[in-house]
Structure 1
Amino acid sequence: MHAHAHRPGHRPRFSARTAARVAARTEVPARRRTDARTDVAAGGRDERGVRAGERTGAAPARTRAQHRTARWTVPLLIGIAYGAYAWFLARDERFTTEATVTGLVAGAAAAVVAFALGRLRRPLVAEVRAAAYGAAFGCAIGYLSSLTGPSILWSSVLGLGIAAGVTPVVFYHLHTHEA
């Protein structure tokens, strides 16, 4: 409330009726409590098809638009960053067409993998999703390592080690942060 709202003779901006209408429109619907027996009989859903304990309010349009934009911008930024770093490692202190093509292909591949992991996030169980994230991250690091000059064996071992470390971390995160 503003400091000048209590001044004598001050006229409020909205009438009480308008303020009540605005408050009614912006109220967030509460979770609906249902009887546990009807939940089991209805397959865990009420007459509207809503699961027990699930929020029934729709997300605001701006939030949905932001999520829609993030679906492709995050993989695109990952692809650009990965491709730029691959180009930097492959150029060997001189500008070559080979390094440019390497950076473009590596960036496109990273963007496609990031987009696919983002789209397949919900249907996959946590174990498979953790393995997919671990494999993608291990392959990415192994490939970047191979661009710096060590043997393929060392790059493969490094990639496998990174994948073996990332997989349980992602698995732990998924099981502790998802409902």
Structure 2
Amino acid sequence: MDQHAHRHDARAARSHGTVDVEHGATANARSHDPQRAPRPAGRAGMADRVKHIPATVSLPIITALAFGCFTIFRTHTDGTKGGPAMLYGLAAFVVSGALGLVVAHFQSSMITETRALAYGTLFGCSIGWVYSLGGESILKSSAFGFTLGAVMFVVALYVFRTHRVREPHGKHRPHKPHRTHREHSLPVATH
């Protein structure tokens, strides 16, 4: 009961803007840590924050931005001008960025072939769709997207296989040895 009361008091103290460390609450580590310097403001602060963005977030966003610009360029070559071309580019940026973030987030839990297939599928579908915006037929766009998706699959598979040391699970995933029924039973009596 006493421990619950201490936690409740600590939460109440935090909700009212004061922190009572004696009752189990923890102070804000950033504001009271003497070794940690405050973050600089302005450009220096932004540069400091950019250094902490992981590659699994920054690379899909940068790639999606480039893909959105390519979509705008492709729709301009078809004759679409102004606002509709920008909307196509914005849609391409949002959708490819979201899917890229999902693939990058879950890539460490995928086996190598599945990860390469995910990147190849995302790339092939994206390029096939943009190719169709230029007025090409659906069959030709699908074949073009499938071909470039297959190329991306092979390239991604090659990169993932040759850089296995950098993978989260190393060269091989750790497997637990499977026990047979005999190993779980009592030991065999010796004579």
Sort the TM-score into its range (normalised by shorter chain). 0.5 to 0.7
Cα distance in structure 2, aligned partners of 1:167 and 1:150: 24
Contact 2:56/2:101, CA 8 A, preserved across alignment: yes
Cα distance in structure 2, aligned partners of 1:132 and 1:172: 14
For residue 136 of structure 1, report the CA deviation from its aligned partner: 0.8
For residue 95 of structure 1, report the CA deviation from its aligned partner: 2.8
Q: Could you list the runs of 5+ residues in structure 2 that have no partner in the other structure?
A: 1-49, 166-191
Match of 1:59 in 2: none
| 2:97 is aligned with 1:111 | yes
Match of 2:125 in 1: 139
Match of 1:127 in 2: 113
The 10-residue stretch of structure 1 (117-126 or 67-76) with the greater mean CA deviation from structure 2 = 67-76
| 2:78 is aligned with 1:75 | no
Q: Could you list the runs of 5+ residues in structure 1 that have no partner in the other structure?
A: 1-64
Select the residue among 62, 67, 70 that pairs with 1:85. Answer: 70
For residue 124 of structure 1, report the CA deviation from its aligned partner: 0.4
Cα distance in structure 1, aligned partners of 2:129 and 2:120: 14
Aligned residues: 117
For residue 69 of structure 1, report the CA deviation from its aligned partner: 4.1
Match of 2:157 in 1: 171
Cα distance in structure 1, aligned partners of 2:80 and 2:59: 30
Cα distance in structure 2, aligned partners of 1:106 and 1:94: 15
| 2:134 is aligned with 1:148 | yes
For residue 101 of structure 1, report the CA deviation from its aligned partner: 1.2
Contact 2:57/2:104, CA 8 A, preserved across alignment: no
For residue 115 of structure 1, report the CA deviation from its aligned partner: 1.1
Q: Deviations over 1:124-150 (max 9, x none)?
A: 000100100111111111112111111
For residue 107 of structure 1, report the CA deviation from its aligned partner: 0.8
For residue 166 of structure 1, report the CA deviation from its aligned partner: 1.8
Residue 95 of structure 1 aligns to a residue whose secondary structure is coil
Cα distance in structure 2, aligned partners of 1:125 and 1:175: 11
Cα distance in structure 1, aligned partners of 2:56 and 2:161: 23
Cα distance in structure 1, aligned partners of 2:156 and 2:147: 15
TM-score by length of 2: 0.55
User: What value does the CA root-mean-square deviation take over the aligned residues?
Assistant: 2.3
Match of 1:9 in 2: none
Cα distance in structure 2, aligned partners of 1:159 and 1:68: 31
For residue 73 of structure 1, report the CA deviation from its aligned partner: 2.4
Cα distance in structure 1, aligned partners of 2:150 and 2:65: 26
Cα distance in structure 2, aligned partners of 1:150 and 1:156: 10
